[in-house]
Amino acid sequence: MAHALSTSSRAAEPRWLHTGAEAYRRMLPALAEASASVRFEFYIYRADETGNRFRTALVAAAARGVKVRLLLDAFGANPLPGDYWDELKKNGGEVHLFNPFTFRLFAFRNHRKLLLVDDKVAFIGGYNIADEYSGDGVKQGWRDLGMELTNRAALHQLAEAFDDMFAHADVSHRALRRMRRSWAPHAATGPVLLSGPRLGRNPFRSNLFTVLRRAKRVQIVSGYFLPSLRLRQALRRVVRRGGTVELLLAGLSDVPLAQLAGRARYGGLLRAGVKIFEYQPQILHAKLAIIDDAVFAGSSNLDTRSFGINYEVMVRFDAPSLAEAGRKMFAVDVANSTEVTLADWKKDQTWLTRLRGMWAGFLLTKFDPWLAHRQLRSMS
- Tell me: the pLDDT tens digits for 22-51? 999 999 999 999 999 999 999 999 999 999
- Predicted confidence at residue 30, as pLDDT, reads 98
pLDDT at residue 198, as a whole number: 62
Sheet containing 94-98: which strands, arranged edge to edge? 15-17, 146-149, 121-125, 114-117, 37-42, 67-73, 94-98
pLDDT over threshold 50, residue 263:
yes
pLDDT for the residue 107: 78
Q: What percent of the chain has pLDDT over 90?
A: 81
Instruction: Indicate whether 10 pLDDT > 80.
Output: no
- Using alpha carbons, list the distances in angstroms from residue 360 to 184, 231, 265, 279, 345: 35, 19, 11, 21, 17
Q: Which residue segments constitute the domains of the chain, with CATH numbers given?
A: 4-186 (3.30.870.10), 193-361 (3.30.870.10)
Q: Which residue has the higher pLDDT, 233 or 99?
A: 233
Instruction: Output the pLDDT for position 71.
Output: 97
Other Cβ atoms less than 10 A from the Cβ of 184: the count is 12
Answer yes or no: is pLDDT of 135 > 60. Answer: yes
- So what's the pLDDT on residue 89? 98
- Mean pLDDT computed over every residue of the chain: 91
Residue 366: its pLDDT value, please?
A: 93
pLDDT of residue 305: 92
Is pLDDT at 123 greater than 90 in this prediction?
A: yes
Contacts by 185-191 with C-beta closer than 8 Å and gap 24+? 186/156, 186/157, 186/160, 186/161, 189/153, 189/157, 190/151, 190/153, 190/154, 190/156, 190/157, 191/151, 191/153, 191/154, 191/157, 191/315, 191/316, 191/317
pLDDT at 13: 83
Under the banding of pLDDT at 50, 70 and 90, the label for residue 5 is very low
Residue among 183, 185, 173, 138 nearest 337 (CA): 138
Give CA 223 to chain center in angstroms.
10
pLDDT tens profile 163-220: 999 998 876 555 555 555 555 544 445 699 999 886 567 999 999 999 999 999 999 9
Tens of pLDDT, residues 206-259 = 999 999 999 999 999 999 999 999 999 999 999 999 999 999 999 999 999 999
Residues facing residue 277 across a β-bridge = 248, 339
pLDDT exceeds cutoff 90 at 323: yes
What pLDDT score was predicted for residue 172? 54
The answer, yes or no, to whether residue 144 has pLDDT greater than 80, is: yes
